[in-house]
Chains A and B, each alone.
Chain A
Amino acid sequence: MVNEKLIVAGFGGQGVLMIGKMVALSGMENGMEVSWLPAYGSEMRGGTATCSVNVSDEPVDSPMIQKPTALIIMNLPSLLKYESWAVPGAKVIINSSLVEQEPTRTDIDVYKVPFNDLATQAGNERGMNMLVAGAYAAITGSITLQNLYDAIDHTFVDSKAKFAEGNKQMAKLGYDYAVEHFSK
């Protein structure tokens, strides 16, 4: 049974909303019920970007998430704000390229991935969001890599179809990194 409540948080421009959308689309490809809710309005003015994504076997109750089962933390302010929100045992994925500070909680599972560095090494900094989504798939299992591939194929169409392959490669890179570093 899947009942994932994910918050993705970071700066505007890091692809935060797109990461969340790819997770939601992947869940939908898998026949799940999903919702995607951006923080908007006054919350946007500080330059932070946040979205809440539900992926569930059952109809989604509340699109607004207050007790996330997973966090994707792309910068330090997001760690400081959302760490305390996570449920015990939550999977907390941290962009260690930008976040050097350690989480204070000991009852969460922390996965540090240097997303910016990996994207730079791959020569595709704009594809970092797919890298994150790939790593998220491997770490949580709430979506599969194939779901993500399908979501990419259905997102990058017509004039943008030429970007599908590059994005899949980035998703695979993130997925493989997580499998390599976090498999037990």
Chain B
Amino acid sequence: MARVLFKGNEVIAEAALRAGVDAFFGYPITPQNEVPEYLAREMPKRGGVFLQTESELAGINMVLGASAAGARVMTSSSGPGLCLMLEAISSMALTRLPAVIVDVVRSGPGMGDLAPAQEDWKLSGNGAYKIPILLPGNVQELANMVFEAFDIADQYSTPVLVLADGMLGQMMEPVDFDKLPERRKNLPDKPWRMASVGEKGYRTMMTLTYGRPLTEFTDRFENETMPKIIANETRYEAYGLEDADVVVAAYGTSARMAKAAIKEIKTDLKFGFIRPMTAWPFPKEPFEKIGPNCKAVFCPEINTIGQMIDDVRIAVAGRMPVYHIGNTAAGPMNTANIIDALRAYVEGVAK
């Protein structure tokens, strides 16, 4: 199959179908509505259950139930909806139920605005757990990551979150569905699956831990699951770090803007670039590779106060200052904001 021009949201839906999604439960919200629209049209033809639920709460709890029954299952939403889902996502982490959740991020807080944003970096429910968070940077990568998210979920028995900002959901770019990653081999045979009546070897799924130590989950997560995910699933793109004077670190759409800005600035200073492709596990390695000449790290993010920047600061460990570039009163963060900030820095160094 050749390249086709596809909208990001439709790519999410098509990649999920190709990953063999059995069921989708969700509630509409801008800017991800083409996901359920596409699946509502295609799933009756291609097999699987599509249900538009009465709320996000109902949707995610149906995801939980379908997952417990062994289905490949997903939902999609945006920040306000994802907030409502956190209780069930936290329960799914505890009960080790796999599912794919796609967040096409819009700006908040609260109901916020429909404008694209990068704001749900830290969104997580109660309790000591983490789930893999994938950060696509273009439409092909969005297809690949949604496709692979189902395998990651099954492999580690965990919910997986794909964070795509609203721009990525709404834009069209060429995508080649023949270039999806290989399906992972040796996935566990759904050992977490609830059994039918009379079936042996079933697992109970307890969302309360009375009578059973919580450490069954927390110890296993800390000592088995977490190290494996960190070792196997940490992803990033980086270049020019060893001799960089300045490093720009950004993910998703703002990483594309950062690349454009670095190209446009004419300076003798050398720019390095880091694009985290997973928020958790966060890629510390490229930040450790930043060479001794580097005087500053800039983090452009499409939000006001910066979220990824805190992880960057931890990774940089005080070796150099880390600066936020974000939204202004004039609107969402964009290439011009990055150019202005970097140019001001470059001119300051020249003086």
Which residues of A come within 8 Å of B, CB atoms? Answer: 21, 24-25, 28, 33-38, 40-42, 59-64, 66
Residues of B in contact with A (beta carbons under 8 Å apart): 3, 5, 30-31, 106, 113-115, 138, 166-167, 170-174, 253, 256-257, 259-260, 263, 334-336
A35, A40, A59: the one within 8 Å of B114 (CB): A40
Q: Provided the pairs A37-B171, A42-B113, A42-B114 are in contact, do residues A24 and B5 lie with their beta carbons within 8 angstroms?
A: yes
A61 touches B172 (CB 8 A): no
Which listed residue (B30, B167, B172, B253) contacts A24, Cβ 8 A? B172
Q: Taking A35-B172, A36-B173, A40-B31 as contacts, is the C-beta distance between A63 and B5 under 8 angstroms? A: no
Given A66-B334, A66-B336, also A36-B174 (CB < 8 A): no
Interface of B is mostly: mixed
Given contacts A36-B172, A36-B173, contact A21 B5 (CB under 8 A): yes
Pick the contact of B3: A28, A36, A40, A60 (CB < 8 A): A28
Nearest chain A CB to B104 CB, angstrom units: 12
A64 lies within 8 A of B257 (CB): yes
- Shortest Cβ-Cβ A-B pairs, 5 listed: A41-B114, A61-B260, A36-B172, A37-B171, A62-B260
Check A41–B30 contact: CB distance below 8 A. yes
Given A35-B171, A41-B31, A61-B256, does the pair A25, B5 have CB atoms closer than 8 Å?
Answer: yes
Chain B hits for A21, CB < 8 A: 5, 172
Report yes or no: A61 in contact with B114, Cβ–Cβ below 8 A. no
A61 to B167: give the CA distance in the assembly, Å.
Answer: 13
* Chain B proximity of A5: nearest CB distance (Å): 10
* A62, B137: Cα distance in complex, Å: 10
Contact B257 A34 (CB under 8 A): no
Chain B nearest Cβ from A58, distance in angstroms? 10
Whether the Cβ atoms of B5 and A61 lie closer than 8 Å is no
- CB of A64 within 8 A of CB of B113, answer no
- CA distance in complex: A25, B5 (Å): 7
Q: In the bound complex, do residue B259 and residue A61 qualify as a contact, i.e. CB atoms below 8 Å apart?
A: yes
Neighbour of A62 across the interface among B30, B115, B170, B256, CB < 8 A: B256
Which residues on A sit within 8 Å (CB–CB) of B335?
61-62, 64, 66
Of A41, A59, A62, most buried by chain B (CB within 10 Å of CB) is A62
Contact flag A41-B171 (CB < 8 Å), given A61-B259, A63-B256 = no
Name the A residues within 8 Å of B115 (CB-CB): 41-42
- Give the residues in chain A near B171, CB-CB below 8 Å: 35-38, 63
Tell me the smallest distance from the CB of B237 to a CB of chain A, in Å.
12
Residues on the A chain within 8 Å of B336, using CB: 66
Partner of B5, one of A34, A37, A40, A62: A34
B260: which A residues are within 8 A, CB to CB?
61-62
Contact B172 A62 (CB under 8 A): no
**How many angstroms from the CA of A60 to the CA of B256 in the assembled complex?**
8
Given contacts A35-B171, A41-B115, A42-B115, contact A61 B30 (CB under 8 A): no
When chains A and B are docked, how far (Å) is the Cα of A28 from the Cα of B260? Answer: 21
- Report Cα–Cα, A182/B73, bound state, in Å: 56
How far is it, in angstroms, between the C-alpha of A62 and the C-alpha of B253 when the chains are bound?
Answer: 7
Give bound CA distance, A36 to B170, whole Å. Answer: 9
Kindly provide the distance from the CB of B185 to the nearest chain A CB, expressed in whole angstroms. Answer: 31
B172 partner residues in chain A, CB cutoff 8 A: 21, 24, 35-37
Residues of A contacting B5 in the complex (Cβ-Cβ under 8 angstroms): 21, 24-25, 28, 34, 36
State the CA gap A24–B172 with chains docked (Å): 9
